[in-house]
Amino acid sequence: MKKRQAHASRRVEGRMQALLLLLLSVSVGLAVSPPNVVLIISDDQGYPDLGCIGTKQLITPNLDKLAAEGVRATSFYVTWPACTPSRGSVLTGRYPQRNGLYDMVRNDMVNYGYKFSPEEYAVSAEMTLGLDVREVTIGDMLKKAGYATGCVGKWDMGQARRYLPLQRGFDFFYGHGNNGIDYYTHERYGVPSMFRGNERTQEDKGTYVTDVFRREALRFIGEHAGKKPFFLYLPFNAPHSASTFGEGTKESEKKKGEGAQAPEKYVAMYRGKVEDEKLARYCGAVTCMDEAIGAVMDAVEKAGLTKDTIFIFHSDNGGSGNGGNAPLKGSKSTMWEGGLRVPFILRWPGKVPAGKVTDEFLTSLELLPTLLAATGAKAPDGVKLDGHDMLPVLCGDAKSPRREMFWQRRADNAARYENWKWVESGKGGGLYDLSTDSGEKHDLSREKPEVAKQMRQRFEAWRAEMDASEPRGPFRDY
C-alpha cells in the first residue's frame, strides 16, 4: 500500500512539475516575445477614402486587405482637425491642450509667396517650436520596454535637434521634421527639409518621397525582424497638398494650392474617372501610399511575423482636396465630423477578429494606452493619459468606456457626449444627434436648449481641467 501511495505521489509531483514548467515557458515566451507594432498615419485622407468603403473609386487593395483581416472603426476621432496637434496626441496619448502642442508649428508668410533666407528660417517658428521636451512619447515608453524604435516619414513635432525623434525615444529616423513638403524636391517652400537622424540630407532629392519612405521602412524592418521586437512609426505626408511655390506665384500674393503630387502611372488610374486633374493626383497619391503599405505588410509576412505584429492605420485629420467627405459634413480645419472623424483599421491576427466593423465611440487618445496594454510597456508615474485600452472594444468584448470628447482650435470649439455633438465656430455651429444625423444637417439647439446648455458646460469643465494641468510649451503663457 505504501509503495502504491509513494508511486501515486511521485506521479502527482511529476505532473505538477510538468505543469509548472509549461506555465514557466509560457510566461517566459510572453516576456520575451511582445508583439511588433507598425503604426501608420496618412495625411489629410478623408473618412470615406478607402476602397473597401465603396463610396469612391479609390484603389487601396492593401488597406482593404488590412481591414478584411482586422477591425475597421467608423466612429474614430482625432484630437484636432489638422496635422501637428493631432499627431502630437498620438505620440503622447494626451489632449493637445494638455501636452502643449495645440496649434500648428509652421511659417505662414509662405502662403504669400515669401521665401525665407537661411538666417530668417533659423529663428522662425517652424524651426524653433516643437513638442515640449518634458512630454514622454510612445517611442520613449517602448524603447524602455526593450523595443527597437524607428520613425520614417513626417515627424512634424519640431526641427530643432531637441525635438527630433532621436531625442524623443526613437533609435532611427529618416523623414522631415516640419509640415508638408514637395514630394520630389523634399523642400518646404524652398527649404530642404529631410533628415537622416539628426542631420539634414538631400541624398534622395528628386525621388518621389513615398518611395523613399517605403525603402527606409523596409530597411528598418529588415534590420530588426526576428532579432528584437520593433516599433515602426510610419507617418506619411501623403496625400497632403505639396508645400511648394507654384509657377507664376508672386511674392505678396496668396499662392494657389497645387494639391497632392503623384507619379504619372498612379494619376493615370484616375484620369477621366474623377472630376479633375487635381483630384486625380490626390487619388494617385493615396494609391501609391497604399502600395508602400502593402510592401511593409509583405516584409512582415516574409519574416514570418504577421501573427506577431499589430498594424494600425488612420488619418491625422479629415480630408482636404479629396472631393468631399460625404456623408459627413465639413473637411480638414473644421469642427464638423468631416474634419474630426477619420478612417481607422487595426489588425492583430488571432487577437482581434477579422472583418469586423465597429461603430463604437473611439479616439486617437486610445492608441497609446492600447499599445501599452498590448506590449506590456509602462507609462511613467505621474503622466496623465487621456484615453483607455480599446482592445476589448475592438474584440467585441466590451462597449467603449468613452462617453465624451472635446476639441478646441483657437475660437472654434466642439464637444461630443454620447450621441450628442455640439459645435461653436466661425464656420457655423449647433447641436446634433449623431445617432440619426451623422451629416450634422439638423440643428436641434432651439428644440433642445437644455442639452445645448449642458454640452457647453461640459466643454467649459474640460477647458478648466486643461487650464489646471501642468503647463507645457510652446504656446501656453506660463
249 falls in which pLDDT band (50, 70, 90)?
very low
Residue-wise pLDDT for 2-24, tens only, equals 445 545 455 545 555 544 444 44
Phi-psi region of 170 (alpha: psi -120 to 50; beta: other; left: phi over 0): beta
pLDDT at 244: 85
Question: Mutual orientation of helices 61-68 and 277-302 as an angle, nearest 10°?
Answer: 50
Percent of the chain beyond pLDDT 90?
A: 87
Question: Mutual orientation of helices 83-92 and 367-375 as an angle, nearest 10°?
Answer: 30
pLDDT at 108: 87
CA separation for the pair 346, 341 (Å, rounded): 16
Say which residue, 245 or 95, is predicted with more confidence: 95
Name the helix (H) or strand (E) containing 402.
Answer: none
Residue-wise pLDDT for 35-89, tens only, equals 999 999 999 999 999 999 999 999 999 999 999 999 999 999 999 999 999 999 9
**What mean pLDDT value characterizes the chain?**
93
Mean pLDDT in residue range 208-225: 98
30 falls in which pLDDT band (50, 70, 90)?
very low
pLDDT at 310: 98
pLDDT above 90 (res 377): yes
Grid cell digits, residue 280: 486625380
CA separation for the pair 59, 64 (Å, rounded): 9
Q: How many CB atoms lie within 10 A of CB 159?
A: 25
386 falls in which pLDDT band (50, 70, 90)?
very high
> Is 403 within 8 Å of 417 (Cβ atoms)?
yes
CA separation for the pair 332, 319 (Å, rounded): 6
Measure Cα distances from 415 to 63, 120, 130, 451 in Å.
30, 39, 26, 12
> Is 106 within 8 Å of 125 (Cβ atoms)?
yes
Measure Cα distances from 232 to 138, 216, 218, 333 in Å.
11, 11, 10, 28
> Is 316 within 8 Å of 86 (Cβ atoms)?
yes
Mean pLDDT in residue range 251-266: 78
> Is 248 within 8 Å of 269 (Cβ atoms)?
no
Mean pLDDT in residue range 198-202: 98
Residue-wise pLDDT for 300-345, tens only, equals 999 999 999 999 999 999 999 999 999 999 999 999 999 999 999 9
